[in-house]
């Protein structure tokens, strides 16, 4: 009798194991969720970067064989190369160009001014100045203009704050880590008060594989963030920033998992990503990235490649035909949604295919 019980128990365990294996196989074969994709395109293609010259977007799309669904560019608060500073208004014309093209505008907006040397040291643009209301009139006018334009767009405010290369960084310009969240919330509240709900707010630190900063402490909270984000570059022993060659996983995996711990239900976008070709195979790096993101990074629902000449780092895809082929092949996957979002209306913007 006891032997029969053991046999039945063994058969049951074997059956459960088979079910688990089959379930795992089905999960690994499940179709990847779709994601937006696009680029931040420099001036190397036509002499002027988009969206100011949309021919550059068409040229880029011809190179990679697919229409972008995101187009990113940046503007600061002001131009302070002369006195007094002149402030940049909401870029309605450029927004309309991008939307007409079929892509979603992805605007990186920084609390800073042009004309400072060094660029990261800007005493009039410290985080505490934002929180204390020094720019409220300007921000309010910007938000009202965004509301009048009326269409959805991504707004990536004060990105990469855990670095020291922007004046809003927590390690420069007299800023402190505890000052970032109040500044972010202050600006977001102004947009809410004027009713500019067409902005989808993107919180975007730089990847931190060594856990140097508490990303959680820099997170403004779920009520203030619509999408999370990560930026990361494989600098690869470039003259501008000598780092060891790093795979996409080495750069992003750790920070991705950390963000998911405190914002597990937010969609994520890779706001800037690129690889140099110093000391490694750039084409292979790109090929693996575009294969891994839909399969292994399930919360990532958007990706922006940084196709800009920056201090000789060779970020652009046009550095070689092998690199172009690798990107063209990877982005052709069904997971990467083409630019057919001229009539998108969701506020905040939802991932592609979301109902």
- 271, two tokens: 């706001």
Q: How far apart are CA 355 and CA 300, in angstroms?
A: 17
8 Å CB contact between 296 and 338: no
8 Å CB contact between 112 and 169: no
Residues spanned by the domain of 56: 34-337
Q: How far apart are CA 292 and CA 247, in angstroms?
A: 11
- 224, two tokens: 């203030």
Q: How far apart are CA 30 and CA 5, in angstroms?
A: 37
Same domain, 24 and 110: no
User: What phi, psi does 304 have (nearest 5°)?
Assistant: -120, 120
Same domain, 141 and 268: yes
Q: How far apart are CA 122 and CA 115, in angstroms?
A: 9
Does residue 261 sit in helix, strand or coil? helix
For residue 354, being part of any structural domain is answered with: no
Same domain, 220 and 145: yes
Same domain, 81 and 17: no
For residue 349, being part of any structural domain is answered with: no
Same domain, 151 and 264: yes
For residue 305, being part of any structural domain is answered with: yes
The CA radius of gyration of the chain, in Å to the nearest whole number, is 22
8 Å CB contact between 106 and 304: yes
* pLDDT, average across residues 151-159: 98
Same domain, 26 and 148: no
Tally Cβ neighbours within 10 Å of residue 103.
29
Residue 311 CA, chain-centre distance (Å), reads 21
pTM exceeds 0.75, yes or no: yes
Same domain, 5 and 120: no
For residue 353, being part of any structural domain is answered with: no
Q: What is the pLDDT of residue 22?
A: 42
Can you list the positions of beta strands (E) in the chain?
Answer: 35-41, 70-79, 86-87, 104-114, 153-157, 199-203, 227-234, 268-275, 300-307, 336-337
Average pLDDT over the chain, rounded to whole? 92
> Where residue 81 sits, what CATH number does that domain have?
3.20.20.80
Same domain, 89 and 13: no
Write the DSSP string, 107-151.
EEEEEEEET-SSTT--GGG-HHHHHTTTTHHHHHHHHHHHHHH-S
Q: How many helical (H) and strand (E) elements, i.e. helices and strands, does the chain have?
A: 9, 10
Same domain, 22 and 138: no
Q: At what angle do helices 55-64 and 321-331 cross, to 10 degrees?
A: 90
Q: What is the pLDDT of residue 355?
A: 53
Contacts for 313 with CB less than 8 Å, ≥ 6 apart: 233, 235, 238, 240, 241, 274, 276
For residue 261, being part of any structural domain is answered with: yes
pLDDT tens string 58-94: 999 999 999 999 999 999 999 999 999 999 999 999 9
Same domain, 1 and 148: no
Q: What is the pLDDT of residue 13?
A: 45
Q: How far apart are CA 244 and CA 202, in angstroms?
A: 29
- 74, two tokens: 């940046």
Number of structural domains found in the chain = 2
pLDDT tens string 2-19: 444 444 444 444 444 443
pLDDT tens string 169-192: 999 999 999 999 999 999 999 999
Same domain, 103 and 126: yes
Same domain, 267 and 125: yes
């Amino acid at each position: 009798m006891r032997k029969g019980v053991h046999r039945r128990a063994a058969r049951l365990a074997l059956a459960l194991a088979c079910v688990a294996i089959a379930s795992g196989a089905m999960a690994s074969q499940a179709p990847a969720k779709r994601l937006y994709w696009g680029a931040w395109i420099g001036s190397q293609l036509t002499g002027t970067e988009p969206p100011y010259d949309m021919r550059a977007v068409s040229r880029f799309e011809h190179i990679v064989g697919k229409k972008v669904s995101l187009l990113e560019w940046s503007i600061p608060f002001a131009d302070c190369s002369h006195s007094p500073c002149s402030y940049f208004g909401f870029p309605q014309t450029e927004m309309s160009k991008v939307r007409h093209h079929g892509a979603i505008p992805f605007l990186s907006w920084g609390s800073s001014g042009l004309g400072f040397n060094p660029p990261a040291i800007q005493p009039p643009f410290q985080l505490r100045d934002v929180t204390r209301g020094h720019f409220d009139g300007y921000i309010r006018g910007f938000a009202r203009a965004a509301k009048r334009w009326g269409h959805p767009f991504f707004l990536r405010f004060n990105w990469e704050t855990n670095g020291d290369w922007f004046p809003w960084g927590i390690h420069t310009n007299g800023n402190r880590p505890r000052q970032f969240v109040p500044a972010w919330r202050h600006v977001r509240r102004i947009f809410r008060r004027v009713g500019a709900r067409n902005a989808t707010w993107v919180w975007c630190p730089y990847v931190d594989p060594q856990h140097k900063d508490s990303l959680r402490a820099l997170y403004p909270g779920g009520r203030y963030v619509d999408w999370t984000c990560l930026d990361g570059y494989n600098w690869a022993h470039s003259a501008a920033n000598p780092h060891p060659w790093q795979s996409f996983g080495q750069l992003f995996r750790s920070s991705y998992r950390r963000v998911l711990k405190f914002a597990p239900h937010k969609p994520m976008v890779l706001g800037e990503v690129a690889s140099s070709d110093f000391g490694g195979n750039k084409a292979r790096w790109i090929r693996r990235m575009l294969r891994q993101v839909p399969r292994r990074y399930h919360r990532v629902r958007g990706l922006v490649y940084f196709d800009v000449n920056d201090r000789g780092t060779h970020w652009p895809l046009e550095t070689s035909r092998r690199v172009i082929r690798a990107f063209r092949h990877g982005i052709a996957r069904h997971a990467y949604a083409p630019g057919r979002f001229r009539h998108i209306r969701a506020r905040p913007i939802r991932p592609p295919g979301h109902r």
